[in-house]
Structure 1
Amino acid sequence: MKQETQDRLKQIKQRFRLMMNGMASQSMREKGLGYSINWGISLPALKTLAEEYGKDYDLAIELWKENIRECKILATLIMPPADMKADLACLWVSQIPNQEVAAMVAFNLFQYIDSAKDLAFKWLASASELEQMCGYNILSRLFMRGEVLDSREINELFDQAKTALEGGSVSLQHTVVNMLSHFCTISDEYNKITKSAFKSYDLDIF
């Protein structure tokens, strides 16, 4: 690790201690968001910190290695999307500790990389629910930006979504429903085919 990166990492950790929110940290632990260390720092505060440090590949790599909530989230905010190659994204997604980070890395970083859609579909078929959640979170963001799919992709998406709705956890099911709700808003046609495909699932999204 470069000395400059090491110094910045140390400084960030010191700042986290000063910014600690004990009540928020305790609340997250009670909700099952397990980290070795969780300072309970708010997302707006972390975004402000990210703007101060700017995009920094080396620092993001080192932050991600830490099993500290704030380090993981800050890493997703300062990693330059252009430097997040597919193999590195696959490594990071395999190291996601919980659903909060699965959302943060998708929203803050993965949705902006060149291979976002391809990786999302790859992760929908993963045996890991956290990887699946990350995939659905990416697609939600892409659909919010008007991303369209071809018929093969739509069929694959619906097949994977049905499997998740029928056998996944409540958290995964919620992520799938959220994704479908964004998919429906792209066009009247998408809304119609989604309504038809999921008519037996009693989804309150139409």
Structure 2
Amino acid sequence: MPAADTHRLASALALLQQNAHPEALEGLARFGITGDKRLGLSMPEIRRVARTLGRDHTLAQALWDTGIPEARIVAGLVAEPAQLSSRQMDAWAKGFASWDVCDQVCGSAFLASPLAWRKVQAWASHRDEFVRRAAFALLATLAVHDKQASDEDFVAALSLIEAAADDERNFVKKAVNWALRNIGKRNPALNEAAIAAADRIQRQGSRPARWIAADALRELTSEAVQARLKGRGQRKNHPAPA
């Protein structure tokens, strides 16, 4: 690594160390936030470090290579999404070892990558727990933030959700449920499609499928969600005057 890049990495790690809270690790572990090299930073602190550093794709990879969970989250925040290669995304996904790193990187660098939808498809049937979680965490995030995606894109993704609904692993099961709920809250048409998918999942009969379906149906059919979607539909049909 060139000297300038080595200095950038050292400076970034020093910023992380300055904000370390080792006394917080025990509490974080109770929420499944673990890792041998974890420093105990909060997400606001991690974001402040990332803002200080700015976009730097070379630094992002160097931070990732440290194996420090907080450094890997910063890597997702300072990476240039357009520069992420398919191989790099696969390597990072295979390196996920905790749900927070997985979800944060999916919600930052991976979300903005032109390869995002392709990776949802590729990872949805992966054997590794966190790679498979990444598929559905990314899909859940796309359902909220990808304003260009069509309803057809999400309807097609429901088949991936149905296929993964029998996975008993906790971090997969929760991400599958998350994606289903977010798709169903996107608009009235997708709410109807997601409820139908949840009904089919419930009929699969496995324990994880029943939990995924029941939890999703409880939210997607709730008065609060239905009222919000109805209001959204009315605003779409009757836009405010210019």
Tell me, in whole angstroms, the C-alpha distance in 1 between the residues paired with 2:182 and 2:34.
Answer: 29
1:184 aligns with 2:188: no
Instruction: Encode CA deviations 1:100-140: one digit per residue, 9 max, x unaligned.
Output: 11101100110101111111111111111211111111111
**DSSP-derived class of the 2:165 partner:** helix
Match of 1:112 in 2: 112
Q: TM-score, normalised by structure 1?
A: 0.90
CA distance in 2, matches of 1:12, 1:197: 45
Partner in structure 1 of residue 150 of structure 2 = 148
1:30 offset after TM fit, Å?
A: 4.3
3-state SS of 1:109 partner: helix
Q: Which runs of 5+ in 1 are unaligned?
A: none
Aligned letter for 1:154? V
Deviates more, 1:60-69 or 1:196-205: 196-205
- 165-174 vs 110-119, which deviates more? 165-174
CA spacing shift, 1:126–1:149, aligned 2, 3 Å: farther
Mapped to 2, the partners of 1:167 and 1:133 lie a distance apart of: 11
Answer with 1 or 2: which has the greater Rg. 2
- CA deviation profile, 1:62-98 (whole Å, cap 9, x unmatched): 1000121221111111011111122211121111122
- CA distance in structure 1 between the partners assigned to 2:26 and 2:80 by the alignment: 32
Aligned partner of 1:205: which letter? E
Q: State how far apart, in whole Å, the 1-side matches of 2:48 and 2:94 are.
A: 27
Say if 1:129 and 1:168, in contact at 8 Å, map to a contact too: no
Is the 2:33–2:98 contact (alpha carbons within 8 Å) kept by the matching residues of 1? Answer: yes
1:4 aligns with 2:7: no
Identity of aligned residues (%): 18
TM-score norm. by structure 2 comes to 0.77
2:173 maps to a residue whose letter is Q
Aligned to 1:196: 196
Aligned residues: 204
1:32 Cα deviation from its structure 2 partner: 4.2
- The residue correspondences of 1:64-83 to structure 2 (distance < 5 A) are 64-83=64-83
Aligned to 2:134: 134
Tell me the equivalent position of 1:162: 162
- Compute the displacement of 1:177 (Å): 1.4
State which of 219, 223, 237 in structure 2 corresponds to 1:205: 219
For 1:83, the aligned partner's letter is Q
Aligned to 2:44: 44
